[in-house]
Structure 1
Amino acid sequence: MARSFTVVIVLLTVVCHLLMSTIAATNAENGWVDAHATFYGGRKGQETMQGACGYGSLFEQSYGLATTALSTALFHNGTTRGACYEIICVNAPQSCIKGARPIRVTATNWCPPNYRDGSWCNPPRKHFDLSLPIFLKIAKYKAGIVPVKYRRVMCPKKSGVKFQLAGNPYFLMVTVFNVGRVGVVVEVKVKGSKTGWIKMTRNWAQVWDTNTVLTGQSLSFLVATSDGKRLKFNNIAPSNWQFNQTYDGKINF
């Protein structure tokens, strides 16, 4: 009798492991991965986290509140800046909004680890820190933190890729944002009306620079994304372009 009971337990354990493996494989096939999500800021969303990707005050022009900071495990040293994700609250009936559709957000910041307090953003945890108004679309305020599933998706953008120019007459910095499809920029080149194509250097995040003097010239850009797509944006900034101005590339990926 004891031996039969042991055999049954072993068989149940094997079946359980097979079932869990099947569920995991199904989730992987569907592109959904387990993670957790929290929120920052207030209900009106005035507080936006703008630091780790270089977008600064460009949130209002492009990303609004549909943004997220990524934990180290998702941020990958910044290579996922600009990527888009679908996120849905799961397995927490008391915390998830019943019938809520997945939210779609753009990665615009990094949620740094804090090893002293066991932060949810510590490696190897996959974690999203959302603006409160976006968090409330899938979960209740009182929950604070919820289990979610996420998947990487294409970034739908309604207007063209945008270029904000900064620097000085001897140093041009360009922030590239509102990028569609995969959303992640890996290379930028600039061309003045009197120059050939000049490869720009990543200053940090999505800010690119060159020491070439380009004032008084109309500017074109070539942008490459992480999926190998490349687009040229011809003469998007006129010869009298100004620093601290944003220019619309008119087209997108």
Structure 2
Amino acid sequence: MALSSGPLVTSLLLFLVAFSLHNAHASINSSWKNAAHNNIGPKKLISTPKQNRHMLLAGSWKKAHATFYEGGSGTFGGACGYEDVVKDGYGLDTAAVSTVLFNKGLACGACYEIRCVDSPQGCKPGQASIKVTATDLCPPNFAQSSENGGWCNPPREHFDLAKPAYLKIAEYKAGIIPVQYRRVPCKRQGGIHFTITGNPYFNLIKVANVGGAGDVVKVQVKGEDKLTWTDLKRNWGEKWETGAMLTGETLTFKVTTSDGRCITSERITPKGWQFGQTFVGKNA
């Protein structure tokens, strides 16, 4: 029987069209992948870095004045409760700040960059600036004018520097010098120090050597057994109190600084810790 060639030819034409379309699609798809690869690389996503919301940045420069006071590592931490500024991680580059800056102890642990300006006879040449930690209060003297002796009277912003720090930027004979200052992040060696004193019914925790913003706005503690997260109350300076039962617990501390950064130091005490001991946590 003879077969018609019409259907065969039609089927062949349809096959060729489909084949051509498939190859064209493959070619376009391949070209698109190559173009994409050349622009962003294989399987890579383009993203913009996120800013660290909890990173204190250096502030703008402001005008103030500075003097100095005598003392040592055991006295430069007075109003903030630091018994020894060297052991607490701050060294001798510290300052007692005026009432306005001290802000009822909220400034304790904060860091400032200070430079001597506009005093050719008072500023020490070759020293650009120093960085100091606020560890004490320069009390007001209302018996004297804020322009003549009452340097720390409100609303003045004033730094009474520890003598070793002052002598890095100014001559001893200058007495009082004009300065510029700005708030800066604190760089610390090692972790946060927690010193626990008191008794089983009243605990006083000193928090020191805090990096970043440096100044603490909140402290919490919890144990491993019975004690749940408990807020501590600022007693004075960087001394924080609680009547919660801490003894017999392995303790975890959480510290929040003024820039919102929260640092948790997990299980840093043994279960049998003793009052008067200092424990070192994290600083990041």
Task: Tell me whether the two structures share a fold, i.e. TM-score over 0.5.
Answer: yes
**Residue in 2 aligned with 1:236?**
268
Count of matched residue pairs: 222
Structure 2: stretches of 5+ with no match in the other structure: 1-57
The partner residue of 1:156 within 187, 190, 196 is: 187
SS at match of 2:197: strand
Note the 1:104-115 alignment, pairs <5 A: 104-115=131-142
Give ranges in structure 1 of 5+ residues lacking alignment.
1-28
Residue 56 of structure 1, CA deviation = 2.0
Once the two structures are superposed, residues 27-85 of structure 1 have per-residue CA deviations (whole angstroms, 9 ceiling, x without a partner) of xx97111111001116xx46733321121235433112111010112222222111100
Of 186-195 and 53-62, deviating more is: 53-62
Q: Do 2:105 and 2:236's aligned partners in 1 also have CA atoms closer than 8 Å?
A: no
| Alignment equivalent of 2:209, drawn from 178, 183, 201 | 178
Structure 1 match to 2:199: 168
Q: Does 1:90 align with 2:117?
A: yes
1:198 is aligned to 2:225:
no
**RMSD of aligned alpha carbons:** 1.6
Normalized against structure 1, the TM-score is what?
0.83
Aligned partner of residue 84 in structure 2, secondary structure: helix
How far apart are residue 120 of structure 1 and its match?
Answer: 0.6
Counting only pairs closer than 5 Å after superposition, residues 121-160 of structure 1 correspond to structure 2 as 121-160=152-191
The residue identity in structure 1 corresponding to 2:178 is P
Report the equivalent of 1:9. Answer: none
Q: Residue 247 of structure 1: CA displacement?
A: 0.4
Mapping of 1:13-92 within 5 angstroms? 31-41=60-70, 45=72, 48-92=75-119
1:201-232 CA-to-partner distances (Å, cap 9, x unmatched) read 11222111111112111111011111111111
Instruction: Using the TM superposition, give the Cα deviation of residue 199 of structure 1 relative to its aligned residue in structure 2, in angstroms.
Output: 1.2
Q: In the TM superposition, what is the alpha-carbon distance from 1:114 to its structure 2 partner?
A: 0.6
The residue that corresponds to 2:53 in the other structure is none
In 2, the alpha carbon distance for the partners of 1:47 and 1:177 equals 14
Q: Distance in 1 between matches of 2:84 and 2:120?
A: 37
Q: Is the 8 A contact 1:41 1:47 kept in 2?
A: no
State the partner residue of 2:9.
none
Using the size of structure 2 for normalisation, the TM-score is 0.75
CA distance in 1, matches of 2:111, 2:59: 16
SS of structure 1 residue aligned to 2:75: coil
Q: Report the counterpart of residue 221 of structure 1 in structure 2.
A: 253
Give 1 or 2: higher strand fraction.
1
Q: State the one-letter code of the partner of 1:237.
A: T
> Identity over the aligned pairs, expressed in percent?
52
SS at match of 1:57: coil
- Is the Cα–Cα contact under 8 Å of residues 39 and 144 in structure 1 kept in the other structure? yes
Q: 1:48 to 1:84 in 2, by over 3 A?
A: same
Determine if contact 1:48/1:131 at 8 Å carries over to the other structure: no
Return the offset for 1:136.
0.5
CA distance in 2, matches of 1:208, 1:141: 37
User: Bigger radius of gyration, 1 or 2?
Assistant: 2
Paired amino acid for 1:61:
D
